[in-house]
């Protein structure tokens, strides 16, 4: 068949979208599209859409979960845009737009106070929680969107409480500033996960284009909604709750669709617990499906990573107990009902993973022995804690290497982690040294 049309000299393709072949025909090299010749119009329209709104090289240049995440992210952005319109209208009415008795100075002061408290909230939140946004990106992403809905609800209600209007909008401004920090930072973490060709900038730019398109659609719908909801608080609240439900559902589906191949505390704990149960290594999709996306409080013994030596050893005897049966570049101990891990400066990524696994094992031991309330002051309790530490060392010696090899074979990225270590690093001396 090829001899009738000519000899194929070369083939080429643009990503996975189209393929072409170069054919020699009577001494002339012709370029032909592979496949049907009659669908180029539809393909060209789709190609233009892809080049405008999707990263170059899609789908090979992004993670497998990119399209599903972006679909739900688009849905939540659209519903959030409509909710924001209702909140903005309420805020403008609250500061005096449309009220002849309101003064420009009073409205300006209210708006400045709102912006000022928001700036302070942004700085304080980034200071207190900035290091958590990488390791728990899913949780903080969902938290940001829930907090955003609460802030918009407060702005809608604020005009009906004129005596407390300034306080309410300032509180909402603080919430929205936290949303800005948490949402932006976690979006950067998710973009890093999605980038497969060091193309973070391209993915971020195309995400901005998608969001702009969604906001334009939201703007058109808002032009229809505003005349309907003006001076109609019941309809305003009903539409707001409808958009909020859609917004939260889409956000939940979005974070649930993300499949990260790097370990954080939650995913590593899930994989370890399953391995201890039946020696099976969970794949990244399985572990991500089980990973909690809401914050949990008071369910397990707390774990502190990268602490000072003083958190573990209060005396030379404590230090020797911490070093007993331990040849690893980290130390474990129990203090005030918390499992504390002290990291050495030469610890590798696998050492950090092992330390976290051992801390989880020790936390489970403490939980099963009902010792969460222990303060570490009683000598018997302290001795029992060190026995648990030594037992956890022996357990990790037996299971860690098979666990590490199995996790790498299951598709986990063992070159880096998202475990949230503090910056303390300690060099200790053993008896031999």
Give the span between the Cα atoms of 428 and 344, in whole angstroms: 8
> Are residues 252 and 270 both part of a single domain?
no
Give the span between the Cα atoms of 410 and 407, in whole angstroms: 5
Under the banding of pLDDT at 50, 70 and 90, the label for residue 2 is very low
Span 292-310, pLDDT tens digits: 999 887 667 899 999 999 9
DSSP 287-307: HHHHS--S---SSS--EEES-
φ, ψ at 261 (rounded to 5°)? -95, 5
211 Cβ neighbours under 8 A, 6+ residues apart? 77
Could you give the angle at the alpha carbon of 164 between the alpha carbons of 158 and 168, nearest 5°?
50
Residues β-bridged to residue 393: none
pLDDT at residue 181 greater than cutoff 60: yes
> Are residues 13 and 117 both part of a single domain?
no
> Are residues 212 and 331 both part of a single domain?
no
Under the banding of pLDDT at 50, 70 and 90, the label for residue 43 is low
Q: What would the mean pLDDT of 315-342 be, rounded to a whole number?
A: 91
Give the span between the Cα atoms of 123 and 238, in whole angstroms: 34
> Are residues 24 and 104 both part of a single domain?
no
Which residues span the domain enclosing 343? 265-409
> Are residues 370 and 295 both part of a single domain?
yes
Q: Is residue 281 part of a domain?
A: yes
Give the span between the Cα atoms of 96 and 101, in whole angstroms: 8
> Are residues 190 and 303 both part of a single domain?
no
Closest CA to 345 of 426, 433, 418: 426
The structural domain count of the chain equals 3
Under the banding of pLDDT at 50, 70 and 90, the label for residue 106 is low
Give the span between the Cα atoms of 93 and 91, in whole angstroms: 5
- Residue recorded with tokens 């304080």: 124
Q: Is residue 418 part of a domain?
A: no
Q: What would the mean pLDDT of 322-348 be, rounded to a whole number?
A: 92
> Are residues 253 and 116 both part of a single domain?
yes
Specify the higher pLDDT residue, 342 or 45: 342
> Are residues 180 and 327 both part of a single domain?
no
Span 363-410, pLDDT tens digits: 999 888 754 454 444 555 667 789 999 999 999 999 999 999 999 999
DSSP 242-256: HHHHHHHHHHHHHHH
Give the span between the Cα atoms of 182 and 108, in whole angstroms: 28
Q: What would the mean pLDDT of 160-185 be, rounded to a whole number?
A: 91
């Amino acid at each position: 068949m090829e001899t009738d049309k000519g000899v194929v000299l070369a083939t080429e393709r643009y990503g996975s979208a189209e393929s072409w072949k170069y054919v020699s025909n009577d001494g002339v090299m012709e370029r032909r599209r592979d496949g049907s010749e009659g669908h180029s119009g539809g393909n060209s329209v789709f190609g233009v859409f892809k080049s405008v709104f999707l990263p170059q090289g899609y789908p090979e240049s992004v993670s497998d979960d990119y399209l599903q995440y972006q679909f739900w992210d688009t849905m939540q952005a659209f519903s959030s845009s409509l909710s924001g319109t209702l909140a903005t209208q309420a805020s403008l009415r609250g500061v005096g737009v449309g009220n002849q008795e309101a003064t420009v100075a009073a409205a300006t002061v209210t708006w400045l106070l709102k912006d000022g408290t928001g700036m302070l909230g942004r700085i304080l939140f980034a200071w207190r929680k900035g290091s958590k946004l990488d390791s728990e990106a899913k949780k903080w992403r969902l938290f940001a969107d829930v907090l955003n809905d609460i802030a918009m609800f407060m702005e809608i209600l604020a005009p009906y409480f004129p005596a407390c209007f300034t306080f309410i909008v300032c509180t909402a401004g603080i919430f929205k500033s936290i949303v800005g920090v948490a949402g932006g930072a976690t979006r950067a973490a998710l973009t890093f996960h999605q980038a497969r060709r060091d193309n973070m900038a391209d993915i971020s730019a195309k995400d901005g284009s998608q969001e702009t398109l969604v906001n334009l659609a939201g703007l058109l719908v808002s032009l229809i909604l505003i005349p309907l909801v003006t001076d109609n608080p019941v309809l305003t609240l009903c539409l707001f709750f409808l958009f909020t439900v859609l917004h939260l559902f889409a956000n939940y589906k979005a974070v649930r669709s993300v499949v990260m191949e790097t370990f954080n505390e939650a995913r590593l704990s899930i994989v370890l617990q399953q391995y201890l149960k039946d020696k099976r290594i969970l794949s990244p999709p399985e572990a991500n499906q089980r990973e909690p996306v809401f914050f949990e409080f008071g369910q397990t013994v707390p774990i502190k990573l990268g602490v000072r030596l003083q958190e573990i050893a209060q005396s030379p005897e404590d230090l020797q107990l911490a070093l007993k049966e331990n040849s690893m570049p980290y130390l474990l101990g129990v203090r005030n009902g918390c499992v504390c891990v002290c990291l050495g400066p030469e610890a590798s990524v696998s050492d950090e993973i092992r330390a976290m696994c051992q801390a989880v094992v020790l936390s489970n031991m403490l939980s099963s022995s009902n010792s969460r309330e222990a303060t570490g002051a009683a000598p018997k309790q302290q001795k029992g804690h060190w026995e648990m530490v030594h037992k956890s060392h022996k357990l990790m010696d037996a299971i860690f290497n098979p666990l590490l090899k199995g996790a790498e074979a299951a598709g986990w990225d063992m070159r880096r982690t998202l475990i949230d270590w503090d910056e303390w690093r300690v060099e200790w001396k053993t008896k031999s040294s």
